[in-house]
């Protein structure tokens, strides 16, 4: 699960939904009331705007680290969505005048990973791992890439088919040893889309978007991709989820699509 917002001054308790107060007046519909009341549990974080859930924990983060005293990677960790603790990853300030770093967080295979690119586009990638629900984090030593990693890691950092996957631009990298060794997957090209961007996984199937309205999926660890059959005229695919045997995708234009055949064929449900 991932949650994105333009900015959060704090994290709201995810499960404390206590009541209602919204009035609706319509001659053709009964009055409704809705008034969510949430408890604010975490304050004074720097623009937290993402949440990932896994292994019984929630990790909230901003995705950016700036140079200076506030520049380190700070994570909000919670076991229940209500009580939160701050975890600062030591030695993660980009450093240098104007330094900036981008990082992504993911969960899978009983591990949490943070992938951080800091300082410059050519600085490479640092990997931090936690195997105790985010309580302690260790930087992996001698992280290696089959091709040198340059640029910044892009959302999302996902675990599927027994491996980790992350991307930078149109390049997709995979690790099957808990983040220590990363191999660049074959470059992608098709007549309908010269490149693809990883957008996530659902039910252990990897998904990537291509040109506007195109979606690709992989069941072999991103070695090959198959183009899904999509309705014409839809906007870019943003995310895919799975539940109760159905895949659901959302678009940048507010559309919702569903698939019942592992993402091969999609039907527009909400325009």
Average pLDDT over residues 92-110: 74
With 70 as the cut, is the pLDDT of residue 140 above it? yes
Other C-beta atoms closer than 10 Å to the C-beta of 268 total 16
Of the candidate ranges 29-43, 134-148, 190-204, the one whose mean pLDDT is the lowest: 29-43
CA-CA distance, 118 to 168, in Å (whole number)? Answer: 14
0.85 cut: is pTM over it?
no
Residue 117 confidence (pLDDT): 82
What pLDDT is stored for residue 260 in this prediction? 96
Give all domains of the chain, ordered by start, each with its CATH number. Answer: 188-271 (2.40.10)
Instruction: Tell me what the pLDDT averaged over the chain comes to.
Output: 80
Alpha helix (H) residue ranges in 185-271? none
Residue 38 pLDDT exceeds 60: no
Asked whether the beta carbons of 157 and 164 are under 8 A apart, the reply is yes
* Percent of residues in the chain assigned helix, strand, coil, to nearest 5: 0, 45, 55
Measuring CA to CA, which residue among 180, 234, 177, 171 is closest to residue 208? Answer: 171
Residue 156 preceded by cis peptide, ω within 30: yes
CA-to-CA dists, residue 72 to 42, 75, 227, 231, angstroms: 18, 10, 40, 44
Strand, helix or coil at 259?
strand
């Amino acid at each position: 699960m991932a949650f994105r917002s333009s900015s959060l001054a704090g994290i709201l308790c995810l499960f404390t939904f206590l009541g209602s107060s919204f009035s609706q007046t319509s001659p053709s519909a009964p009055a409704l009331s809705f008034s969510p009341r949430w408890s604010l549990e975490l304050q004074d974080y720097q623009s937290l705007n993402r949440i990932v859930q896994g292994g019984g924990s929630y990790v909230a983060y901003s995705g950016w680290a700036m140079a200076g005293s506030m520049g380190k990677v700070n994570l909000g960790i919670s076991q229940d969505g209500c009580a939160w603790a701050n975890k600062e990853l030591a030695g993660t300030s980009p450093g240098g005048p104007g330094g900036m770093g981008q990082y992504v967080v993911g969960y899978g295979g009983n591990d949490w990973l943070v992938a951080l690119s800091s300082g410059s586009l050519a600085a490479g990638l640092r990997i931090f791992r936690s195997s105790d629900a985010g309580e302690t984090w260790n930087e992996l030593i001698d992280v290696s890439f089959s091709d040198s990693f340059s640029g910044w890691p892009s959302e999302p950092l996902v675990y599927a088919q027994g491996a980790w996957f992350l991307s930078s631009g149109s390049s997709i990298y995979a690790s099957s040893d808990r983040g220590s060794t990363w191999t660049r997957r074959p470059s992608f090209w098709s007549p309908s889309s010269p490149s693809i961007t990883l957008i996530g996984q659902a039910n252990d199937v990897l998904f990537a978007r291509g040109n506007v309205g195109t979606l690709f999926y992989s069941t072999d660890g991103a070695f090959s991709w198959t183009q899904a059959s999509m309705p014409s005229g839809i906007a870019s695919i943003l995310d895919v989820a799975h539940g109760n045997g159905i895949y659901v995708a959302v678009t940048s234009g507010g559309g919702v699509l569903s698939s019942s055949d592992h993402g091969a064929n999609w039907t527009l449900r909400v325009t």
